[in-house]
């Protein structure tokens, strides 16, 4: 093993979604891994190859201790929506604390996962918060790669999987508005490769993480329905009505299905930046291979991050 591949990498969320795929690849490439998580006791698929430490945002000294000796921090930490004490503002503050702790601990590089089309002027808190954090990464003085994904698809993904789940379970599918706005998803293993390749890249880069195919939302729903062998019975709904429908559905599935901001981002074409593809896997091919599995189980964001919490914040399970 070369000296370089024995580096220690700190990564957030190794037991969660994107972080799990990146961790698998990092281990294959010989890195030593530490993870930061709210779920240190969650089922650890990597055994003793991955050491888990809590997100000690309230104790930066402990965060520094956790990060000391790591050469790179890979940061996937973020929240999809505000809930209870967790807000976009606290997520921004926590991430700033993490970046400062990394610098204090002697970490030299950060690979930061952002979002396509972040903007400090955006009225959408998700996109605005992500833009502020890109600025914090750039200003940190650490060398960096910032990756800007759109929707990251894979078996545990929320959006594509849950569209499939709704198509399997409901007689009609509601398309918000005209359905012509675009979406350009990237496969989770391609995303993981971009993250892990960035560990060794020199200098500072900002890069969209996008797949080779762009669909209108309506095309995407029709494609999923066709792969599932279900009739695509679509009904176009004004966006506020579609939002209310998903809000109510959320009570039944005990989740937040899609937020008002996510509707705005989707329908505002923020999920389909132009430019060269950085992921190779075609969603249409992946769906053809995985049509038996996709949408079999509803993927709940609330169950993933808030289950068992009486305080509306993630707890250690």
Residues that bind ligand NAP (CB under 6 A): 12-13, 15-19, 37-39, 76-79, 86, 113, 115, 149, 151-152, 157, 305, 314
Strands 8-12 and 72-75: parallel
- State the minimum distance, in angstroms, from the CB of residue 18 to ligand NAP: 3
Q: In sequence order, what are the residues at sequence separation of 6 or more whose Cβ sits closer than 8 angstroms to the Cβ of residue 27? A: 33, 46, 49, 50
Q: How far is CA 251 from the centre of its chain?
A: 23
- State the minimum distance, in angstroms, from the CB of residue 310 to ligand NAP: 15
Query: What is the chain's Cα-based Rg?
Result: 19
DSSP state of 252: H
- State the minimum distance, in angstroms, from the CB of residue 187 to ligand NAP: 11
Of the two residues 157 and 255, which places its CB atom closer to ligand NAP in the complex? 157
Q: Which residue number places its CB atom closest to ligand NAP?
A: 13
CA distances from 47 to 27, 44, 99 (A): 12, 6, 27
Of the two residues 222 and 305, which places its CB atom closer to ligand NAP in the complex? 305
Q: Crossing angle for the helix pair 217-228 and 159-169, nearest 10 degrees?
A: 60
Of the two residues 230 and 273, which places its CB atom closer to ligand NAP in the complex? 273
Could you give the CA distance from residue 114 to residue 132 in angstroms, rounded to a whole number?
A: 10
- State the minimum distance, in angstroms, from the CB of residue 27 to ligand NAP: 17
Of the two residues 38 and 173, which places its CB atom closer to ligand NAP in the complex? 38
- State the minimum distance, in angstroms, from the CB of residue 156 to ligand NAP: 8
Of the two residues 229 and 275, which places its CB atom closer to ligand NAP in the complex? 275
């Amino acid at each position: 093993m070369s000296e370089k591949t024995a580096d220690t990498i700190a990564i957030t969320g190794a037991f969660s979604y994107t972080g799990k795929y990146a961790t698998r690849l990092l281990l294959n490439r010989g890195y030593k891994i530490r993870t930061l998580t709210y779920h240190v006791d969650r089922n650890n698929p990597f055994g003793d190859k991955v050491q888990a430490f809590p997100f000690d945002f309230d104790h930066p000294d402990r965060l520094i201790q956790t990060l000391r000796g790591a050469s790179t921090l890979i940061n996937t930490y973020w929240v999809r929506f505000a809930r209870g004490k967790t807000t976009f503002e606290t997520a921004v503050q926590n991430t700033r604390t993490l970046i400062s702790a990394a610098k204090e601990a002697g970490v030299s590089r950060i690979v930061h996962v952002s979002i396509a089309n972040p903007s400090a002027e955006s009225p959408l808190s998700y996109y605005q918060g992500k833009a502020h954090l890109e600025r914090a990464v750039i200003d940190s003085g650490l060398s960096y790669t910032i990756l800007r994904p759109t929707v990251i698809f894979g078996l545990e993904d929320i959006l594509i999987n849950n569209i499939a789940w709704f198509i399997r379970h409901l007689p009609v599918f509601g398309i918000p508005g005209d359905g012509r706005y675009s979406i350009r998803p990237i496969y989770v293993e391609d995303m993981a490769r971009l993250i892990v390749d960035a560990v060794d890249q020199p200098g500072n880069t900002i890069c969209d993480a996008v797949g080779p195919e762009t669909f209108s939302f309506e095309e995407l729903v029709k494609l999923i329905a066709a792969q599932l062998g279900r009739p695509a019975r679509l009904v176009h709904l004004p966006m506020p009505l579609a939002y209310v429908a998903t809000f109510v559905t959320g009570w039944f599935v005990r989740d937040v299905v899609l937020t008002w901001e996510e509707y705005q981002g989707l329908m505002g074409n923020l999920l389909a930046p132009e430019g060269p593809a950085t992921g190779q896997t075609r969603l249409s091919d992946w769906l053809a291979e995985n049509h038996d599995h996709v949408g079999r189980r509803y993927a709940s964001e609330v169950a993933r991050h808030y289950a068992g919490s009486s305080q509306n914040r993630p707890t250690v399970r």
